[in-house]
């Protein structure tokens, strides 16, 4: 075990190309999925957050349900859509990083939209009315609401990233874990563990943990070191 950890450190510190290729692809796939999720999820969450609650009950329930969507279910749906006989099979996206981005986007979107909606709902109405009393037009009002809820929104994005970077089920199903093409950290850990190649699996696990630590530290600092967790 200790030898395995030492060798894992060696792989990380010597910038083992195989390991870093996997890390880079993981970050690219999850990063792009979250950026797309934020581009759609933040405006969607802001819109829902500013609507009266009674008008968005059904959508809210749906979003909350999708926030807990099991990755394998998301993977299965995307797989069926992208498979050769599926409605989007003609695009030939299955077992490509694009398919993995789509799957992770589906996982990140409800989280980002749902948490943005909750954050904006907490004081969005008040911000909106204040902006209106000061003569702000629609665009400035919307921008002010988003700006005032930035901590909650940032938290939503980081939570979305944390969710997708650590998931294995969806990317395994739609990516196929092809070496050099669709192999990411989580799928590689599963594979290397199966091969009893614990050094690489541990090294990848450590990088994953460090990334998770960096993400959470960013969130903690942005929220004012725990002093100001509000939206």
Partner 1 sequence: MAGNRFVLEIKNLSKAYDDKEVLNIEQLSFRQGKIYGIIGPSGAGKSTFLRLANLLEAPTGGVVNIHGKRAFPNGADAFRLQREMTLVFQKPLLFKASVKDNVAYGLKARGYPREEIQKRVKALLQKMGLNQLAERRADTLSGGEGQRVALARAVAFEPSLLLLDEPTANLDPSNVELIEELILDLNRSAGITIIIVTHNVFQAERIAHQVLFFFEGQVVEVGETEQIFQEPRDPRTKAFIEGKMIY
Instruction: Give the residue with the Cβ less far from partner 1, 52 or 68.
Output: 52
* Total of chain residues touching partner 1, rule CB under 8 A: 17
Per CB under 8 A, 72 contacts partner 1: no
Q: How far is the CB of 149 from partner 1 (least distance, A)?
A: 10
Per CB under 8 A, 223 contacts partner 1: no
Q: Note the Cα 207 to chain centre separation in Å.
A: 17
Per CB under 8 A, 18 contacts partner 1: no
CA separation for the pair 49, 117 (Å, rounded) = 4
- Of 114-133, binders to partner 1 (CB under 8 A) are 123, 126-127, 129-133
H runs (alpha helix) in the chain: 2-13, 17-50, 57-67, 71-82, 97-133, 138-148, 150-165, 169-175, 185-194, 198-222
Q: Note the Cα 34 to chain centre separation in Å.
A: 5
Q: Note the Cα 109 to chain centre separation in Å.
A: 8
Q: How far is the CB of 154 from partner 1 (least distance, A)?
A: 13
Q: How far is the CB of 123 from partner 1 (least distance, A)?
A: 7
Per CB under 8 A, 140 contacts partner 1: yes
Q: How far is the CB of 126 from partner 1 (least distance, A)?
A: 5
Q: How far is the CB of 215 from partner 1 (least distance, A)?
A: 23
User: One symbol per residue from 144 to 163: x for binding partner 1 (CB under 8 A), - otherwise; what is it?
Assistant: x--xx-x-------------
Per CB under 8 A, 190 contacts partner 1: no
DSSP readout, 2-61?
A: HHHHHHHHHHHHTT-HHHHHHHHHHHHHHHHHHHHHHHHHHHHHHHHHHS-GGGSHHHHH
Instruction: Give the residue with the Cβ less far from partner 1, 110 or 124.
Output: 124
Q: 207 CB contacts (<8 Å, ≥6 apart)?
A: 12, 19, 23, 185
Are 25 and 98 in contact by the 8 Å Cβ rule? The answer is no
Instruction: Give the residue with the Cβ less far from partner 1, 42 or 94.
Output: 42
CA separation for the pair 31, 88 (Å, rounded) = 24
Could you list the residues that contact partner 1 (CB under 8 A)? 123, 126-127, 129-137, 140, 144, 147-148, 150
């Amino acid at each position: 075990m200790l030898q395995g950890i030492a060798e894992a450190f060696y792989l990380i510190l010597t910038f083992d190309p195989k390991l870093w290729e996997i890390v880079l692809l993981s970050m690219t796939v999850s990063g792009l999925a979250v950026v797309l999720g934020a581009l759609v999820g933040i405006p969607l969450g802001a819109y829902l957050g500013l609507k009266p609650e009674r008008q968005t009950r059904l959508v809210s329930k749906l979003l909350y349900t999708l926030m807990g969507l099991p990755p394998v279910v998301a993977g299965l749906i995307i797989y069926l859509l992208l498979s050769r006989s599926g409605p989007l099979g003609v695009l030939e996206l299955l077992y490509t990083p694009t398919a993995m981005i789509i799957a992770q986007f589906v996982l990140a979107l409800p989280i980002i939209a749902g948490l943005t909606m909750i954050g904006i709902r907490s004081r969005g109405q008040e911000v909106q009315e204040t902006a209106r009393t000061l003569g702000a037009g629609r665009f400035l009002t919307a921008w002010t609401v988003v700006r005032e809820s930035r901590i909650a929104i940032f938290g939503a994005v980081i939570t979305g990233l944390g969710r997708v970077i650590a998931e294995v089920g969806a990317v395994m199903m739609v990516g196929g874990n092809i070496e050099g093409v669709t192999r990411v950290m989580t799928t590689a850990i599963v594979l290397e563990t199966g091969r009893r190649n614990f050094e690489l699996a541990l090294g990848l696990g450590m990088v994953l943990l460090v990334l998770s630590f960096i993400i959470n530290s960013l969130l903690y600092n942005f929220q004012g070191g725990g002093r100001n967790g509000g939206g």
